[in-house]
Amino acid sequence: MIDSRMKPEQLKRVTGRFGESNRRALAQYRESDAVKAVEILVAEDGCDACKAAAGKQYDLDDVPVLPNPECTHKKGCRCTYVAITKSYAELGIEGVEDPDLSGGA
Ligand SMILES: [Zn+2]
């Protein structure tokens, strides 16, 4: 529970619990045959440590821990994992073109 009398350290403990949802997401990605890697999505106002971890693909066996222990943001790390899915060809589905994701939409 958040209340207005909370101190910043207490708020950081709340964001620290986001680790649980990230651990669950990662476990699901590892179980899924459709996911080949993960990326880290960082908040727009994220700290430099979190931004440094973003924009890379991580092998499912070598994923940085979230919340990022190096995070210096005053409200704590709000990074999250994003699944990188296999292509249709990698999934063994022939004759289907993968969507072009480079435009972002
Ligand atoms: Zn951070």
Residue 95 in domain: no
Residue 65 falls inside a structural domain: yes
Residue 94 resides in a domain: no
> For tokens 């073109």, what's the residue?
97
Say what the pLDDT of residue 62 is: 95
Distance 87 CA to ligand 1 centre (A): 31
In a domain, 55, yes or no: yes
In-domain check, residue 39 = yes
Give the closest residue to 63 by CA, choosing from 43, 39, 28, 34.
Answer: 39
Ligand 1 centre distance from Cα of residue 52 (Å): 9
Within a domain: 100:
no
Q: What band does 79 get if pLDDT is binned at 50, 70 and 90?
A: very high
Mean pLDDT rounded to a whole number for the chain: 89
pLDDT tens digits, 21-66: 899 999 999 999 999 999 999 999 999 999 999 989 999 999 999 9
Asked whether residue 1 is domain-assigned, the answer is no
Domain span holding position 29: 8-85
Cβ-count burial of 62 within 10 angstroms (0-12 exposed, 13-18 middle, 19+ buried)? Answer: exposed
Confidence (pLDDT) at 12: 73
* Domain annotation covers residue 19: yes
Rg for the chain (alpha carbons), in Å? Answer: 17
Number of domains present in the structure of the chain: 1
pLDDT of residue 44: 93
Residues 6+ apart with CB under 8 A from 64: 40, 53, 58
